[in-house]
Amino acid sequence: PQTDLAFNYGVFSARTGSIYTATLLLQWVRWAAGTHTPPEEIWHADGRVQDPFRPRIEPAGFTSPKEAIQSRKVAINAFADSIRKAQVFVFTLGLTERWTNTDTGAEYPLCPGTAAGRFDPDSHRFENLGFADTFEALWQAIQIMRQMNPNLRFIFTVSPVPLTATMSSHHVLPATVNSKSTLRAVCGELAQALPHVDYFPAYEIIYAPPFRGSYYAPNQRDVAAQGVDVVMQQFFEATSA
Return the HEC string of 186-215: HHHHHHHHCCCEEECCHHHHHHCHHHCCCC
Using an 8 Å Cβ cutoff, are 142 and 195 in contact?
Answer: no
Percentage of the chain lying above the pLDDT 90 cut: 88
Q: CA–CA separation, 53 vs 161, rounded Å? A: 22
How much is the average pLDDT of 163-171? 94
- For 21, 207, 218, the CA distances from 212, given in Å and listed in that order, are 27, 8, 13
Percentage of the chain lying above the pLDDT 70 cut: 99
Q: CA–CA separation, 169 vs 29, rounded Å? A: 31
Predicted TM-score (pTM) of this structure: 0.94
Query: If phi over 0 gives left and psi between -120 and 50 gives alpha, with beta otherwise, what is residue 181?
Result: alpha
Q: Given pLDDT bands bounded at 50, 70 and 90, which one contains residue 3?
A: confident
Q: Residue 97: what residue type?
A: E
